[in-house]
Amino acid sequence: MIGDFEIIKFKEREVRIFLRDDADKSVVAEIFKWREYRSVDEIVEACNLPILDVGAHVGIFSLYAKILNPDVKIYALEPEADNFSALKKNVEENNFARGTKLFKVALAEKTGVRKLQIENDSINHHLRKSLEKDEDSHYEEVRVISFGDFLIENGVAGVGLLKMDIEGGEYEIFENLLSGDFARIKNIILEYHNYCGRNYREIENILRKNGFGVQIFPSRFENDLGFLLAKNKRNGK
């Protein structure tokens, strides 16, 4: 794994981030320069329940959250091997290993094994959909786990913030959560992806039906991307 560490300054703290390529640099810019997640700053700072970083990539959001709230527990999920190695480097290099647990796994509808489609840019890997063919493609078989099973396996009673960036896999997740799963989540920040006729409004409607207030922040760069912020009105801020 070729790359080098660069220093980023944020909130009077220097963060050493292991960067391999332009894809990694784009995520750093998104989170630390353009502050695409600033809408959850106050939520992160006040979190006394764990943060789930689903689709953690190389851990840039986890670093961001740890600086905002050094005491918060973070569970970072990333299934792809090279991304996971870089995630581990970034967490250890900044002495955030305490209170940060890493899982080489993807969140999915149900627990098992799935094919992870490997794309040229590491930020675009995603679980295979049924419409994708094996020909001329590269994939890894990875462990996947349902949201409910993950909470049970790790003794998590509630989630302060569910951050999710899984390249269209969000539809599968939210369509299959149980009412009890929604009740365990206080806040959600989701990078949504409109693709193959699917639209973030589907997820917005599911969340509203389960007691969440929802705000939408379209991407300034791409029409098919944006952020969805949801707050559970039934269990407080």
Q: Does the structure show a pLDDT above 50 at 27?
A: yes
The residue written with tokens 């006040």 in the block is 46
The residue-averaged pLDDT of 97-118 equals 97
- Considering the domain boundaries, does residue 100 fall inside one? yes
What is residue 58's three-state secondary structure? coil
The CA–CA distances, whole Å, from 138 to 107, 185, 226 equal: 20, 34, 27
Mean pLDDT of the chain: 94
**Number of domains observed in the structure of the chain:** 1
Burial 199-232, CB ≥16 within 10 A → b, else e? ebeebbebbeebebebeeeeeeeeeebbbbbbbb
Give the pLDDT confidence of 149-207 residue by residue, as tens digits. Answer: 999 999 999 999 999 999 999 999 999 999 999 999 999 999 999 988 899 999 999 99
Q: Does the structure show a pLDDT above 60 at 236?
A: no
**Where residue 237 falls among pLDDT bands split at 50, 70, 90?**
very low
Residue 43: give the domain boundaries: 4-232
CB 58 within 8 A of CB 94: no
Alpha-carbon gap, residue 114 to 108, rounded angstroms: 9
Q: Which residue has the higher pLDDT, 135 or 20?
A: 20
Q: What is the CATH number of the domain that holds 171?
A: 3.40.50.150
The confidence score (pLDDT) of residue 134 equals: 59
Q: Does the structure show a pLDDT above 80 at 131?
A: no
201, two tokens: 């409004």
**Per mean pLDDT, which range of 138-147, 159-168, 227-236 is the poorest?**
227-236
- Considering the domain boundaries, does residue 70 fall inside one? yes
- Considering the domain boundaries, does residue 237 fall inside one? no
